[in-house]
Amino acid sequence: MRILHLVPGSGGTFYCQNCLRDHILIRALRAKGHDVVLVPLYLPMYGGAVAAEANAPLFFGGISVYVREKLPFLRRMPGWLDRLLNLPGLLRQAAMREGSTNASGLGSMTLSMLEGQHGNQGQEFERFLDWLRTQPRPDVIHISNALLLGFVPTIREILDTPFICTLQDEEPWVSAMEPPYERLCWDVMSRHGAQVSRFIATSRWYADRMMDRMRFSPDQITVLYPGIEVPPEPPSFQHADPPTIGYLSRLNRTQGFEDLVNAFMVLKREPALASLRLRATGGATPADTPFLTEIETRLGNAGFLEDTEIDWNFQSAPGEAFFQGLTVMCTPSREGEAFGMHIIEAMARGIPVVQPRAGAYPELIGDGESGVLYDPETPHGLTGALREILTRPDQAGRLGEQGYLRARELFSAERMAGEMIALYESVLDASPASP
C-alpha cells in the first residue's frame, strides 16, 4: 500500500507527543512492507533515534509561511527567495524558537493555512501540487492533525484519494486564539472534515470532545491508541534508592511542572523522604526561560537544587538512562491531554504513574490499574498521591507490573500499525474505485 503522510516537522527542542507518534507509526508501517512517503511541513524532521526518514521535499517552510502572512507583497515571492528562506541553517534557528510563539497571535495564519490555495500561502500550495503530480498515486493520504485540513480540498482538485486525519491537541491550540479566529477556524475545519473518510482520535475522551467541536458523526471517527516499542519481557521493578520522581514533557506551567516541584519540596521535608530526588526532561523554549530560572532559584533557596536533575536542553525522546532508577513518573497537567506518550513510556518500563483525574489520563492508566489518579482541585492531592507510591514499594511494584501488561496489550507499536493498516483497508473497501 502507498501512503502519503503529511507531518509537521519537529524542531526537536521540546518533547512533542504528536511528532513521536507520527515517527513511530511511519517506521512501523514501513517495517510491515508498506510504502510510506513522509512529507515534512514547516520544519525539517528532527527526531533523533526515533525519527522516520523523510523521503519528500520540505514544503511550507516555517519562515516563508510567516513572511507570506505578514508581508502581502511577498505572497508571490521569487523562487530564489523562497529557497533562501528554506536553508537548513535558517530553519534550524527558527526551530530553536518553536513553541515560543503564542497561539493567540497566530489565528490569522492558522486560518490562512486552512483556506488552502485561497489563503495567503496559495503559491506554496501550487508548488506542492506541482510536486504531487509527479508522484505515483497514493492509495491513502494521512494528515497528521486537523490543522492541516486545508490540504484536503486542494489535493481533491487533482486526486480522488481517501483522506485519513488524526486528531490530537488541536483543541488547546485553536481555543487559545483571539476572536474571531477560534470560531472561524473551527468552522473551516468542520467544513473540510466532511471530505475526510475517517478521523482517528488518540483517546475516547478526545473523540467525544472533537465530535462536539467539529460536528461530525460517530461513524466518521475511530479511536486508535498511539504505541511505542514495548520490551518483550516485563522489566523487574526496582525500588530506587534514593527514591526518584520522573517528569517528561515540556518544562512549563501548562504541563504542571510547577505543581510537581511544589509537591517535591513538601515531600522532601518529610523525614521518611529526605533523600527524595527529582529528574525532569522535555526541553524548554526561550519563552520558558524566566519560569525555569524562577523554579531553580526556589529550589536553591530551599537547599534542594542539588537533589534535582532538570535538563533544559532536548534533542529527541529520552533513552533508557532517563528512566533507569525512577520510582514514579508524573506529568501533572491539570487540564489533562488528548493522550500521554510519557505515560505509556513509563508503563512499558514497569514504572507506576501518578496523574490528575483529567483528560485521557484515567483511560490510559485504566482508572487506577497502573498508577494513582488524584483530584487536581483537591489541596495536596498530588502530594498525597506521590507519597502513596513513594512510601509503599509493594504497591508501587504491583502497579508497575500491571502497567507493563496494559502497555503490551494496548499501547505497542505493533498493535498500532496493525490496526492502522486494517483501518486503511476498510476505508479503501468503502471508497468507489477511481482512476
- Digits of tens for pLDDT over the chain (435 positions)? 999 999 997 666 778 899 899 999 999 999 999 999 999 999 877 666 677 888 899 999 888 888 888 888 888 999 888 888 888 777 777 766 655 455 657 889 999 999 999 999 999 999 999 999 999 999 999 999 999 999 999 999 999 999 999 999 999 989 989 899 999 999 999 999 999 999 999 999 999 999 999 988 899 999 999 999 999 888 876 666 899 999 999 999 999 999 999 999 999 999 999 999 999 999 887 888 999 999 999 999 999 999 999 998 877 678 888 999 999 999 999 899 999 999 999 999 999 999 999 999 999 999 778 899 999 999 899 999 999 999 999 999 999 999 999 999 999 999 999 999 999 999 999 876 543
**pLDDT tens digits for range 237-263:** 666 689 999 999 999 999 999 999 999
- Buried-state track 130-142, b at ≥16 Cβ within 10 A, e below 16: eebeeeeebbbbb
**Same structural domain for residues 16 and 74?**
yes
Residues 157 and 287 occupy one common structural domain: no
- Any idea what the CATH number is for the domain that residue 180 is in? 3.40.50.2000
Same domain, 132 and 258: no
Q: How far apart, in Å, do the first and last CA atoms of the chain sit?
A: 16
Task: Identify whether residues 423 and 332 lie together within a single domain.
Answer: no
Greatest pairwise CA separation for the chain in angstroms:
72
Determine the number of helices (DSSP H) and then strands (DSSP E) in the chain: 18, 12
Q: Please state the domain count of the chain.
A: 2
Asked whether residue 237 is assigned to any structural domain, the reply reads no
Cell matching residue 296: 531553580
- What would the pLDDT profile of 367-412 be if each residue is shown by its tens digit? 778 899 999 999 899 999 999 999 999 999 999 999 999 999 999 9
Nearest to 368 by CA among 380, 354, 358, 381: 354
Task: Kindly report the pTM of this predicted structure.
Answer: 0.93
Q: Where in the sequence is the domain holding 62, given as residue range(s)?
A: 2-228+413-430
Cell of 154: 486542494
Question: Do 315 and 344 reside in the same domain of the chain?
Answer: yes
Residues 360 and 424 in one domain: no
Q: 77 near 64, Cβ under 8 Å?
A: yes
Q: Which helix (H) or strand (E) holds 416?
A: helix 413-430
Claim to verify: residue 425 and residue 404 sit in the same structural domain: no
Q: Which residues pair with 41 in a beta bridge?
A: 8, 59
